[in-house]
């Protein structure tokens, strides 16, 4: 490998801009970079149960195309030549797409997901399919072991869970196995692992990124998003993968232009938050980190507005919708008995129980969802962003069933309780950014904005990251 401005010790955690500059200056080739990350992913990924399928040869072929572009002074965008991984619910032609589940371990498609095709067209090398919770958690699950590869292990401490269902995607970025990764979210599957693993996770507006070629769990909730080192990286990636797609009936038919330099002054924003989210709701070990994060948010000099979420049963509503739509999608799988091959007994029971929902149950939930959307549209006429902890707890143990006992929390609610469910029900974009540590494990802050305001949330997240260095910290290099 040639001498780099970013040396081999820092290379696993370099930003997209730094990697792009090294490629442009021909300090390293895309083939070399792809080989470097492929070897790390193949060697280290299995120790965290993060790798579903290596695609090193597939990636090197694309890397060769990227190097030819550089040689001929052509550019297909800021991601050209930079390798990445994809959650194993995204189809890659002629390779297994297992959906994280044993019954689908031999499943192969003859086409690519749209996001894979878009990145391939821009000469972005795909080097691996990344592990996930089986069926993206459909039906609910009771332990971290609900995955074909085994429990996703947190790179900061392998005794703890990485979060799901985009477990492998978060692990790969946190451990420096890929510069970025694609994930998906129906209700927390990007925000949770990003928070637990200490990376930046972007969940775009519903419909902004095509889901064609992705496993469906909930037609009205599923979203494809990004896990990366920073908010800036997320913006660069979203710029490349967003856009209309005639193959996706839910496509918003909009593009995304990442323009952080031209966003309005952040001091003009109104930030909705609740002090109680940072003082009384979190587990005790997290409070110091979260209160420090809130002081950084306040230092931006935006107008801080104390508020609370509209009062709705967000959890039961989103649970009914996911279960009902998931039962319809996986009906034959459940009725055939193949569901019994899943790893998690709680998930098996949950999927079977989902068949008992009635049309009345589903329609009631959808009517309440309409009321929730109306209430949040009104809320966003008065504020610009919602800010809260991504989670109030540190990750669960990876080797034990999840504790189903509800933790004791204050009766009074602020913004954070229910925000993940509410913002998914409304299709809002959100980003989780690292904001500190508790017991040696990362803590995350979530920032939520109105639909198609990704530039707004990324601009604010980037400002937070300019004032802190949590996103630059990483586990010891393996």
Q: What are the residue numbers of the active site?
A: 87, 165, 189
Under DSSP, the state recorded for 337 is: T
For residue 294, the surrounding DSSP H or E stretch is helix 287-299
Cβ neighbourhood burial of 378 (10 Å; 0-12, 13-18, 19+): exposed
Question: Do the bridges between strand 84-87 and strand 181-185 make them parallel or antiparallel, or are there none, so unpaired?
Answer: parallel
Beta pairing partners, 433: 445
What are φ and ψ of residue 388, in 5° steps? -160, 165
Structure token digits, residue 252: 């918003």
Q: How far apart are CA 459 and CA 450, in angstroms?
A: 14
Torsion of CA 363, 188, 38, 44, to 10 degrees: -130
Beta pairing partners, 96: 108
Measure CA of the first residue to CA of the last residue in the chain; give whole Å: 19
Cβ neighbourhood burial of 25 (10 Å; 0-12, 13-18, 19+): exposed
For residue 25, the surrounding DSSP H or E stretch is none
* Site of tokens 């802190």: 468
């Amino acid at each position: 490998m040639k001498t780099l401005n970013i040396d081999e010790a820092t290379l696993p955690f370099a930003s997209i801009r730094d990697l792009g500059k090294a490629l442009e200056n021909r300090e390293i080739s895309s083939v070399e970079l792809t080989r470097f990350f492929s070897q790390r992913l193949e060697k280290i990924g299995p120790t965290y149960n993060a790798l579903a399928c290596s695609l090193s040869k597939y990636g090197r072929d694309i890397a060769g195309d990227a190097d030819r572009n550089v040689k001929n002074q052509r550019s297909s965008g800021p991601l050209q030549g930079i390798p990445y991984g994809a959650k194993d619910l995204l189809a890659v032609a002629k390779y297994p797409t297992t959906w994280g589940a044993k019954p689908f371990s031999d499943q192969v498609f003859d086409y690519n997901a749209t996001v894979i095709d878009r990145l391939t067209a821009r000469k972005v090398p795909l080097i691996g399919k990344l592990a996930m919770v089986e069926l993206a958690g459909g039906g609910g699950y009771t332990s971290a072991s609900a995955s074909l590869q085994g429990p996703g292990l947190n790179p900061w401490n392998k005794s703890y869970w990485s979060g799901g269902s985009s477990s492998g995607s978060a692990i790969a970025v946190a451990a420096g196995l890929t510069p970025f990764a694609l994930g998906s979210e129906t209700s927390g599957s990007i925000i949770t692992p990003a928070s637990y693993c200490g990376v930046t996770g972007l969940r775009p507006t519903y419909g902004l990124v095509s889901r064609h070629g992705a496993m469906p769990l909930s037609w009205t909730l599923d979203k494809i998003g990004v896990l990366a080192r920073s908010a800036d990286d997320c913006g660069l990636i979203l710029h490349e993968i967003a856009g209309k797609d005639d193959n996706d009936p839910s496509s918003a038919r909009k593009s995304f232009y990442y323009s952080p330099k031209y966003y309005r002054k952040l001091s003009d924003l109104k930030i909705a938050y609740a002090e109680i989210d940072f003082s009384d709701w979190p587990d005790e070990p997290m409070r110091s980190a979260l209160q420090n994060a809130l002081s950084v948010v306040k230092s931006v000099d935006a107008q801080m507005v104390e508020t609370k979420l509209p009062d709705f049963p967000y959890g039961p509503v989103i649970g009914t919708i996911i279960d009902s739509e998931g039962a319809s999608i996986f009906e034959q799988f459940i009725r055939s008995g193949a569901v019994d091959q899943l790893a998690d007994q709680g998930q098996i029971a949950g999927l079977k129980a989902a068949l008992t929902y009635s049309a009345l149950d589903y329609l009631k939930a959808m009517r309440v969802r309409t009321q929730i959307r109306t209430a949040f549209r009104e809320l966003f006429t008065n504020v610009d962003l919602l800010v809260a902890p991504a989670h109030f707890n540190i990750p669960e143990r990876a080797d034990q069933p999840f504790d189903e006992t509800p933790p004791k929390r204050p009766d009074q609610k602020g913004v954070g309780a229910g925000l993940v469910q509410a913002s998914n029900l409304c299709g809002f974009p959100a980003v989780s950014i690292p904001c500190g540590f508790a017991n040696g494990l990362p803590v995350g802050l979530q920032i939520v904005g109105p639909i198609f305001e990704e530039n707004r949330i990324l601009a604010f997240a980037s400002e937070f990251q300019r004032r802190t260095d949590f996103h630059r910290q990483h586990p010891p290099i393996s």
